[in-house]
Amino acid sequence: MRLSRYFLPVLKETPREAQIISHRYMLQAGMIKQASAGIYSWLPLGFKVLRKLENIVHEEQVRAGHIPMLMPTLQSADLWRESGRYDGYGEEMLRMKDRHGRDMLFSPTAEEMFTDVFRSHVSSYKDLPLTLYQIQWKFRDEVRPRFGVMRGREFLMKDGYNFDLTKEDALHAYNRHLVSYLRTYERMGLQAIPMRADSGPIGGDYTHEFLVLADTGESEVFYDSAVTDIKMGQRDIDFDDVAQCQAVMEEFTSLYARTDETHVPDEFAKVPEANKRTARGIEVGQIFYFGTTYSEPLGAVVDDGRGGQVPVHMGSHGIGVSRLLGAIIEASHDDKGIIWPEGVTPFHVGILNMRTGDDACDAASEDIYAKITAAGLEPLYDDRDERAGTKFGTMDMIGLPWRITVGPRGVKNGVVELTSRRTGESEELSPEVAIERIVEIYKGIA
pTM for the full model?
Answer: 0.94
Position 381 in a domain = yes
Distance CA 423, CA 435 (A): 19
Q: Is the pLDDT of residue 203 over 60?
A: no
Domain closes at, from 281, 304, 338: 338
Contact 400, 347 (CB under 8 A): yes
Which residue, 25, 39, 31, is CA-closest to 9?
31
- Same domain? For 295 and 396 the reply is no
- Same domain for 355 and 320: no
Residues, the chain, total?
Answer: 446
Q: How far apart are CA 443 and CA 446, in angstroms?
A: 8
- Whole-number pLDDT of residue 205: 60
- Planar angle of CA 28, 30, 35, nearest 5 degrees: 100
Q: Are residues 356 and 221 in the same domain?
A: no
Residue 295 near residue 128, CB atoms below 8 Å:
no
129 preceded by cis ω (within 30°)?
Answer: yes
What is the total count of domains within the chain?
A: 2
- Contact criterion met (CB below 8 Å) for 391 and 370: no
Decide which of 281, 311, 338 is a domain's last residue. Answer: 338
Which CATH number belongs to the domain containing residue 432 in this structure? 3.40.50.800
The whole-number average pLDDT for the span 186-196 is 93
Higher local confidence (pLDDT), 259 or 70:
70
CA angle 213, 214, 216 (to 5 degrees): 140
- Any domain includes 287: yes
Give the mean pLDDT of 28-51. Answer: 97
Boundary (domain end) residue, out of 338, 359, 378? 338
Residue 423 is assigned to a structural domain of this protein = yes
Residue 234 in any domain: the answer is: yes
φ and ψ of 226, to 5 deg? -65, -20
**What pLDDT, on the 0 to 100 scale, is given for residue 197?**
79
Burial class (CB in 10 A: 0-12, 13-18, 19+), 360: middle
Predicted pLDDT at 362: 97
154-177: per-residue pLDDT in tens?
999 999 999 999 999 999 999 999
The answer to whether residue 344 sits within a structural domain is no
Which of 20, 88, 112 shows the shortest CA–CA distance to 298?
Answer: 112
Average pLDDT, the chain: 94
The answer on 402 and 254 residing in a single domain is no
What is the average per-residue pLDDT within 144-148? 88
Instruction: Judge if 262 and 358 occupy the same domain.
Output: no
Around 216, how many Cα atoms within 13 Å sit in the side-chain half-sphere?
20
pLDDT for 204 equals 52
pLDDT at residue 201 tops 70: no
* β-sheet bridge partners, residue 183: none
pLDDT reported for residue 233? 84
One domain for residues 322 and 363:
no
pLDDT at 433 over 80: yes
CA separation (Å) from 269 to 90, 223, 315? 38, 11, 32
Could you list the residue range(s) of the whole structural domain that residue 429 is in?
A: 349-443
**Does the pLDDT at position 202 exceed 60?**
no
In terms of domains, do 358 and 332 share one? no
- A 10 A CB-CB count for 90 gives 12
Q: Domain check: are 162 and 101 in the same one?
A: yes
For the chain, give the secondary structure using H, E and C: CEHHHCCCCCCCCCCCCCCCHHHHHHHHCCCEEEEECCEEEECHHHHHHHHHHHHHHHHHHHHCCCEECCCCCEEEHHHHHHHCCCCCCCCCCEEEECCCCCEEEECCCCHHHHHHHHHHHCCEHHHCCEEEEEEEEEECCCCCCECHHHECCEEEEEEEEEEECCHHHHHHHHHHHHHHHHHHHHHCCCCEEEEECCCHHHCCCEEEEEEEECCCCCEEEEEEHHHHHCCCCCCCCCCCCHHHHHHHHHHHHCCCEEECCCCCHHHHCCCCHHHEEEEEEEEEEEEEEEECCCHHHHCCEEECCCCCEEECEEEEEEEEHHHHHHHHHHHCEECCEECCCCCCCCCCEEEEECCCCCHHHHHHHHHHHHHHHHCCCCEEEECCCCCHHHHHHHHHHHCCCEEEEECHHHHHHCCEEEEECCCCCEEEECHHHHHHHHHHHHHCCC
Cβ atoms of 69 and 135 within 8 Å: the answer is no
175 with 57, same domain: the answer is yes
CB 417 within 8 A of CB 409: no
Question: At 446, is the pLDDT very low, low, confident or very high (cuts 50, 70, 90)?
Answer: low
pLDDT at 234: 84
Contact by Cβ (8 Å): 181, 286: no
**166 located within any domain:** yes
Residue 45 lies in a domain: yes
Report the pLDDT averaged over residues 181-204.
82
Judgement on whether residues 304 and 418 belong to the same structural domain of the protein: no
Residue 199 has pLDDT above 80, yes or no: no
Half-sphere exposure of 235 (CA within 13 A, CB side): 15
**CA atoms of 441 and 418, how far apart (whole Å):** 12
Are 328 and 395 within one domain? no
Stretch 298-318: mean pLDDT, rounded?
94
Does 15 have pLDDT greater than 90?
no
Q: Do residues 435 and 301 share a domain?
A: no
Q: Is the pLDDT of residue 404 over 70?
A: yes
Domain for residue 343, yes or no?
no
Sequence-distant (6+) residues with CB within 8 A of 254 are none
CA–CA separation, 197 vs 262, rounded Å? Answer: 6
C-alpha dist (Å) from residue 81 to 2, 76, 297, 300: 53, 9, 10, 15
Q: What is the pLDDT of residues 328-370, one digit of tens each?
A: 999 999 999 999 999 999 999 999 999 999 999 999 999 999 9
With bands split at pLDDT 50, 70 and 90, how would you rate the model's confidence at 88?
Answer: confident
